[in-house]
A and B are shown apart, each in its own frame.
Chain A
Amino acid sequence: MIKNLFTLNALDISWVLLMIITSANAFVAETAEPSLAITAIICCSIAYKGRRIMDYFMELNHANETIQFFMRSYFHVFPALIFLTDLFSEELASLTTI
């Protein structure tokens, strides 16, 4: 009975992990000075959280491959773009100046 109460399945584990990562992000927001390393860590956390939600909550893990591809790409491309736009912010500004 006690064992059953404390049995976690993949959904429970995903929820716990997502809450921990969110708390860590909030801690970073309140304490860390901005740097490329912090940006890289946050980008990785975005990619991981996205993947976790897609695979376990949305159940894309073994679903249609086209949907999997586009959804997973989204959470590779945007974290990468966040990092790259921080890294090349001056170049981006000059490229987009009218």
Chain B
Amino acid sequence: MTITATGFNLNGSGSVTKEPETLNKIPGNRAIWVGIFAEMTEFALFFLVYFIAKAHYPEQFNQGPQQLNTLAGTLNTFALITSSYFVAKALASIRMDDPEQSIKWLWRAVSCGCIYLVIKVWEYHWNVDQGIVTNTSKFYTMYYYMTFNHLLHVGWASGSLLWAIHQLKVGRYTKKNHIGLTAIACYWHMVDLAWVIIFPLLYVLR
């Protein structure tokens, strides 16, 4: 087995330091980064509210995660990380001038997005069966507010992936011009990054 960690293969052959589209550049375009920083700020506010609420209601925030379905949270994390991996692979494929392969990777990413949405809806139903609703405690109010907000982001980011698939099919994204796909990929990774913090806050830490 060959592991090429030092080579940093973006597309199986090159090194990131030689990729002209990433070196000291804004990945995608400026507009998407305005959006990404706006979203990150929104999630930052949620996290600050969480910290303050946890300080005021430590018992509720200690008990809360124990009642949640950790398996559902973990599977959702797997789905998002895997989808991010697929999106990165799609970008690598278009760099290698292989739009068909790029489309395949994007469909896999969309599938992961759908799996996330299905698991989340199932989890909400499971919660209700356990008597966990929005006003059960301050922790669950935070839980529903953060996770539903994140679910919306996964929903419309999945829509943007479908748009990217369409653009690839009609030949608008090519090896030489795929800034739109890069921007969509960055947005998708941002959604994943937000969950990287949300998952331990709600399911792991007490």
Question: Which residues in A have some Cβ–Cβ distance to B below 8 Å?
Answer: 3, 6-11, 13-15, 18-19, 22-23, 25-26, 28-30, 34, 38-39, 42, 45-46, 49-50, 53-54, 56-65, 67, 70, 74-75, 78, 81-82, 85-86, 89-90, 92-93, 96-97
Contacts and interface: CB of A to CB of B under 8 A. Distances in A.
Interface of B: 1-5, 7-10, 12, 16-17, 19, 22-27, 33, 37, 40, 44, 47, 51-52, 54-56, 58, 62, 65, 70-71, 73-74, 77-78, 81-82, 84-85, 87-89, 92, 185-186, 189-190, 192-193, 196-197, 199-201, 203-206
Nearest to B3: A8
A76 B77 CA distance: 20
A27 B151 CA distance: 24
Q: Is the interface of B mostly helix, strand, loop or mixed?
A: helix
Given A65-B24, A92-B52, A7 B2 contact: yes
Contacts of B23: 62-63
Given A59-B22, A63-B22, A67-B33, A11 B89 contact: yes
